[in-house]
Structure 1
């Protein structure tokens, strides 16, 4: 019978994986929202730069 890791190692590993996935999801949506904000802000600034 193979030797098993202690239960708390498995729990730590699962918690690490879950926090890593959640952190990546939060970073992805944060970058997506910030890019949208800067794009809209840049377009609004660009409209007022008239060159005659």
Structure 2
């Protein structure tokens, strides 16, 4: 019953919040994304068919 032991429920809630935050931070920082700064320039240099000829 929550009325009998509110301190235990509070500690359980804090534990779940800490585990949730730890899981999210480990998941966020475990991947290394290589962002290519020249991707937009390479994308714009693609030769397109000129249909107005």
Task: Return the TM-score normalized by structure 1.
Answer: 0.54
Q: Distance in 2 between matches of 1:29 and 1:3?
A: 34
Shift of 1:4: 4.8
Task: Return the TM-score normalized by structure 2.
Answer: 0.53
CA RMSD of aligned residues (A): 2.4
Q: Which runs of 5+ in 1 are unaligned?
A: 41-52
More RCO (CA 8 Å, sep 6+):
2
More helix by share: 1
Indicate the residue corresponding to 1:28 in structure 2.
27
| Superposed CA offset, 1:3-42 (max 9, x none) | 8541000000000000000000000000124xx25xx7xx
Which is greater in Rg?
2
Counting matched residue pairs gives 35
Where does structure 1 differ by over 3 angstroms across 4 or more consecutive aligned residues?
2-5
